[in-house]
Amino acid sequence: MEIRSVGVVGAGQMGNGIAHVFALAGYDVLLNDISEEGLQKALATIEKNLDRQVSRGKITAEVKAAAQARIETTLKLADLGQCDLIIEAATERETVKQAIFEDLLPYLKPTTILTSNTSSISITRLASRTDRPEKFMGLHFMNPVPVMQLVELIRGIATDQDTWDTMHEVVRRLGKTAASAEDFPAFIVNRILIPMINEAVYTLYEGVGSVKSIDESLKLGANHPMGPLELADFIGLDTCLAIMNVLYDGLADSKYRPCPLLVKYVEAGWLGRKSQRGFYDYRGDVPVPTR
């Protein structure tokens, strides 16, 4: 199947990045969100990120203008029904994702492929709530989407070969690299990454090191570009906790137990960069460790 039009559900950090890369690759994009403010903020972010690419010589001003012209927005989920491909990029809660797909079903073309950008939730389970589990799969982009090269392709138990081949070609056309992952909790990247972050939080919780010493140790001792606590703030502590809970519930192994300190930060609303406080306080000119 040839994909020409793409609907993106959710205009947040991931959704606007997904819309950006698809428009840049020549696809017509319809971006949906529950608020007009969210949509306008997404368009502003996309323009800023395209401008950055122009200033660095990655794209021309003409390419930027053409990409922007390919993006339209809507508050009505039903408007996405005629798209060839729909990518759900809403919050990482299964009930929210299920409700979105159920609301979409009456408006879909028979040929529309459904995908979820979930970073951890069962693709098979999400697909089972739709009328086309054979045309459903996971399409997990990394954050920030315009910069990161990897896309995890996750096949549900019912995903057919045509859908897989079509999405593999889509990822190639985006100029990104596809990694094939089986449908197990958190797939590949987050199955490895988030427990590492959780262990860093335990290291802080147990007093082995401070926020600064833990992050410096991993940056200088393991050559990581960001420390694990800094990275957790960038991802969002609520997202990290949600993924740890998926791992803990799905694999029933105590090694995936979320650190109580991570739970406490989320309960406090200290979710990282997006709330201005997490393991660092971002309200000043320079981020300051909170512990």
Q: Please give the residue range of the domain that contains residue 16.
A: 5-182
Q: Do 51 and 148 have their domain in common?
A: yes
Ligand-binding annotation for 12, yes or no, is yes
Check if 180 is active-site.
Answer: no
Catalytic hit among 16, 116, 117, 119: 119
281 — pLDDT class (breaks 50, 70, 90): very high
The SS3 assignment for 152 reads strand
Residue 199: which CATH number? 1.10.1040.10
Ligand-binding annotation for 249, yes or no, is no
DSSP letter, residue 258: P
Among 182, 204, 239, residue at a domain's last position:
182
Whole-model pTM: value is 0.90
Q: Residues 264-278: pLDDT tens digits?
A: 999 999 999 999 999
Q: Do 226 and 118 have their domain in common?
A: no
Q: What is the pLDDT of residue 64?
A: 98
Q: Residues 132-144: pLDDT tens digits?
A: 999 999 999 999 9
Q: Do 61 and 27 have their domain in common?
A: yes
Mean pLDDT for the stretch of residues 13-19: 96
Q: Do 240 and 271 have their domain in common?
A: yes
Ligand-binding annotation for 33, yes or no, is yes
Tell me what percent of the residues of the chain surpass a pLDDT of 90: 97
Q: Do 161 and 17 have their domain in common?
A: yes
Ligand-binding annotation for 272, yes or no, is no
Q: Residues 170-208: pLDDT tens digits?
A: 999 999 999 999 999 999 999 999 999 999 999 999 999
Among 182, 209, 227, residue at a domain's last position:
182
Q: Do 97 and 173 have their domain in common?
A: yes
The SS3 assignment for 83 reads coil
Angle at 131 between CA 127 and CA 132, to 5 degrees: 60
Ligand-binding annotation for 131, yes or no, is no
Q: What is the pLDDT of residue 79?
A: 97
- Mean pLDDT for the chain? 97
Mean pLDDT for the stretch of residues 119-145: 96
Ligand-binding annotation for 89, yes or no, is no
Check if 140 is active-site.
Answer: yes
Catalytic hit among 32, 88, 122, 152: 152
How far is Cα of residue 228 from the mean position of the Cα atoms in its chain?
18
> Is the pLDDT confidence value at 96 over 90?
yes
Ligand-binding annotation for 26, yes or no, is no
Q: Do 178 and 206 have their domain in common?
A: no
Q: Do 178 and 257 have their domain in common?
A: no
DSSP secondary structure of 27-44 = -EEEEE-S-HHHHHHHHH
Q: What is the pLDDT of residue 148?
A: 96
Q: Please enumerate in sequence order all residues whose Cβ is within 8 A of that of 11, keeping only pairs 6 or more positions apart, or say none.
A: 19, 31, 32, 33, 38, 39, 41, 42, 73
Q: How far apart are CA 247 and CA 244, in angstroms?
A: 5
Name the residue among 137, 128, 162 with its Cα closest to residue 86: 137
Q: Do 28 and 171 have their domain in common?
A: yes
Check if 119 is active-site.
Answer: yes
Q: What is the pLDDT of residue 219?
A: 98
- Residue 71 near residue 43, CB atoms below 8 Å: yes
Catalytic hit among 16, 116, 190, 198: 190
> Is the pLDDT confidence value at 92 over 90?
no
Q: Please enumerate in sequence order all residues whose Cβ is within 8 A of that of 192, keeping only pairs 6 or more positions apart, or say none.
A: none
Q: Do 173 and 211 have their domain in common?
A: no
Residue 111: which CATH number? 3.40.50.720
Q: Do 196 and 164 have their domain in common?
A: no
Q: Do 285 and 171 have their domain in common?
A: no
> Is the pLDDT confidence value at 1 over 90?
no
Check if 190 is active-site.
Answer: yes
Q: Tell me how many domains the chain contains.
A: 2
Ligand-binding annotation for 119, yes or no, is yes
Q: Residues 201-259: pLDDT tens digits?
A: 999 999 999 999 999 999 999 999 999 999 999 999 999 999 999 999 999 999 999 99
Amino acid at the residue 135: K
Among 182, 199, 233, residue at a domain's last position:
182
Ligand-binding annotation for 51, yes or no, is no
